[in-house]
Amino acid sequence: MSQQSADDALTVYSDYVCPFCYLGKAAMDQYRERADDPPEVEWRFYDLRGYKRDESGDIRDDVDDGKDDDYFAQVRENVERLKERFDVEMTLDFSEDVDSWNAQQAALFVRKSEDEETFLTFHEAVFDALWQDGRDVGDPDVLAAIAADAGLDPDEVRAATEDEELAADLRERFEQAQQAGVSGIPTFVYEGHAARGAIPPAQFERLVEGGE
């Protein structure tokens, strides 16, 4: 695989608690495995439930977002369909009770303090911890355990979830994503072209190699 410049990276906006981000990641990995010269991937954080947060950063349960039982039934149906299509095993529904903020803040710490390979190891492990094992990745102790398994200092990662400077950096990154026009996730961007949702491998090929 040849080296890709930052401008040639496939940029991905995602949130750990988004099932379609996990499914889209699986489809993207399938595309990259079979592509002759796949682009590098640049992960960017996005707060799926940011519109429901109060001034303290907590998620408000009283915000009416229109996501009723019928909505979640449709989500489950779509996830089941895509699981079969992309041949992905994953748990369901657990994400409804998980706040991803701590996980994203911990991942930002790892990205800023470690090399890209280490960040990707932690990043993948957080995704799998939620969608394979049903663990609460919003819990600092869970994140510390994931960090230890990835060869990181668990105490440093636990402390990172309480770092106000990291929290401010993360909020700024979320705002930058919105300013860039990202309104839903997953969103995949390559050389000015974008696709949203858990797109199939063939659509990644068109996005990257066909510019659409």
pLDDT of residue 73: 82
**pTM beyond 0.95, yes or no:** no
Reduce the DSSP state of residue 186 to 3 states and report it.
Answer: coil
Q: What is the mean pLDDT of each run of 10 residues along the chain (212 residues)?
A: 55 95 97 94 89 69 68 85 93 73 97 96 97 94 98 98 96 92 94 94 92 51
Residue spans of the domains in the chain: they are 6-209
pLDDT of residue 13: 97
Helices (H), the chain: 19-34, 69-86, 101-113, 116-131, 140-149, 154-160, 164-179, 201-209
pLDDT of residue 69: 72
pLDDT of residue 58: 72
**CA 198 to each of CA 48, 156, 158, 183, 192: distance values in angstroms, whole numbers, following the listed order:** 15, 33, 31, 15, 19
**CA 191 to each of CA 15, 41, 195, 210, 212: distance values in angstroms, whole numbers, following the listed order:** 22, 12, 12, 11, 10
Q: Do 103 and 141 form a contact (C-beta atoms < 8 A)?
A: no
Q: 10 Å Cβ neighbour count for 1?
A: 10
Average pLDDT, the chain: 89
How big is the CA angle at 42 (ends 24 and 102), to the nearest 5 degrees?
80
pLDDT of residue 52: 63
Q: In the structure encoding, which two tokens stand for residue 70, read together?
A: 């019928």
Cβ contacts of 26 within 8 Å, gap of 6 or more: 86, 88
Q: 10 Å Cβ neighbour count for 115?
A: 10
Query: d(Cα 47, Cα 133) in Å, to the nearest integer?
Result: 22
Superfamily of domain 6-209: Glutaredoxin (3.40.30.10)
pLDDT of residue 3: 33
Taking Cα atoms as reference points, which of 40, 3, 11, 13 lies closest to residue 174? 13
Query: d(Cα 188, Cα 198) in Å, to the nearest integer?
Result: 9
Q: HSE of 90 in the Cβ direction (CA atoms, 13 Å)?
A: 30
pLDDT of residue 122: 98
pLDDT of residue 95: 56
53-91: b (≥16 Cβ within 10 Å) or e: beeeeeeeeeeeeeeeeeeeeebeeebeebbeebebebe
Q: What are the beta bridge partners of residue 42?
A: 11
